[in-house]
């Protein structure tokens, strides 16, 4: 009886390990009269879709939701009507906050430094961030944050009502690194002359702007004024009003934007090694 030798199977090459996951840290800035927890509740669907859609690219969004430091009173709210009898409104504890308060008489931003210092505190706690996403007043703050972190932007001397110690704190908190991207929903240009240095020269950080076609809170001209002060801005106009659209149709451009600029940052980092 003859025997047949069965050749040993060739060993299959081992599969290369998957690339390591990379955290993408994003600062989430609420609008006027909101709070960090409320903004997260309103954008929870956006957060989940962002996480799910970036997972195949080994990107893990890590979102931080600070609350502005300025608590608002009833009379600070849009549409507030004073009592007919002229009595002073009772002080109420509200869960409505702002990054700063606009002085109607002068147009200046009161408590502006407090708001920016709160961002520095959050970035320090996060160990640095890669990008920012802001809505309304938070969108305006997001643009100014991105500008302040850009290398080479000169900080002017302090002027009445404004001081700039927060800039050094912000830059130190982020390790001297600029943001990779800024996403701005219903944002606007801040007109106080003292803040002009944050727009001149124009903002070079990559920006994505969402504009509400039916927004009656932030006029489109104010949003366009911010868009015009950004280099190569990406813009999208949704058919709604003053809110963050969270349906897949409007989140997927956000996913693509975050993916593109997160990968560009990783490529630049690899090139330096």
pLDDT of the chain, 273 residues: tens digit per residue: 555 655 555 566 777 777 899 999 999 999 999 999 999 999 999 999 999 999 999 999 999 999 999 999 888 878 777 766 555 555 557 899 999 999 999 999 999 999 999 999 999 999 999 999 999 999 999 999 999 999 999 999 999 999 999 999 999 999 999 999 999 999 999 999 999 999 999 999 999 999 999 999 999 999 999 999 999 999 999 999 999 999 999 999 999 999 999 998 766 655 554
Domains along the chain with CATH numbers:
22-68+100-272 (3.40.50.1820)
Q: Give yes or no for a contact between 63 and 28, defined as CB atoms under 8 angstroms apart.
A: yes
Q: What is the predicted pLDDT for the residue at 102?
A: 95
Q: What is the largest CA-CA distance in the chain?
A: 115
Structure tokens at 35: 């709070």
Q: Give yes or no for a contact between 215 and 203, defined as CB atoms under 8 angstroms apart.
A: no
Could you tell me which residues come within 8 angstroms of residue 34 by beta carbon, excluding any fewer than 6 positions away? Answer: 42, 96, 97, 135, 138
Report the C-alpha gap between 209 and 134 in whole angstroms.
10
Provide the whole-model pTM. 0.89
DSSP 8-state symbol, 240? S
């Amino acid at each position: 009886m003859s025997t047949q030798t069965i050749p040993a199977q060739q060993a299959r090459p081992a599969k290369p390990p998957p690339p390591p996951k990379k955290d993408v840290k994003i600062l989430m800035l609420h609008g006027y009269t909101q709070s960090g927890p409320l903004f997260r509740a309103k954008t929870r669907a956006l957060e989940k879709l962002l996480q799910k859609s970036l997972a195949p690219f080994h990107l893990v969004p890590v979102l931080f939701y600070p609350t502005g430091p300025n608590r608002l009173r009833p009379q600070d709210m849009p549409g507030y009507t004073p009592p007919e009898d002229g009595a002073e409104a009772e002080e109420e504890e509200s869960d409505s906050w702002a990054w700063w308060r606009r002085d109607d008489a002068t147009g200046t931003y009161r408590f502006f430094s407090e708001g920016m210092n709160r961002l520095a505190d959050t970035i320090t706690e996060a160990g640095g961030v890669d990008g920012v996403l802001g809505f309304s007043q938070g969108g305006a703050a997001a643009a100014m944050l991105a500008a302040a972190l850009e290398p080479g932007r000169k900080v002017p001397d302090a002027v009445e009502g404004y001081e700039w110690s927060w800039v050094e704190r912000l830059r130190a908190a982020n390790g001297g690194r600029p943001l990779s991207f800024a996403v701005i929903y219903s944002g606007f240009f801040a007109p106080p002359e003292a803040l002009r240095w944050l727009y001149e020269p124009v903002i070079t950080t990559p920006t994505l702007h969402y504009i509400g076609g039916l927004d009656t809170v932030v006029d489109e001209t104010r949003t366009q004024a911010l868009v015009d002060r950004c280099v190569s801005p990406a813009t999208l106009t949704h058919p709604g009003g003053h809110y963050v659209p969270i349906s897949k149709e409007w989140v997927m451009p956000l996913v693509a934007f975050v993916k593109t600029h997160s990968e560009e940052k990783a490529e630049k980092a690899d090139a330096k090694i």
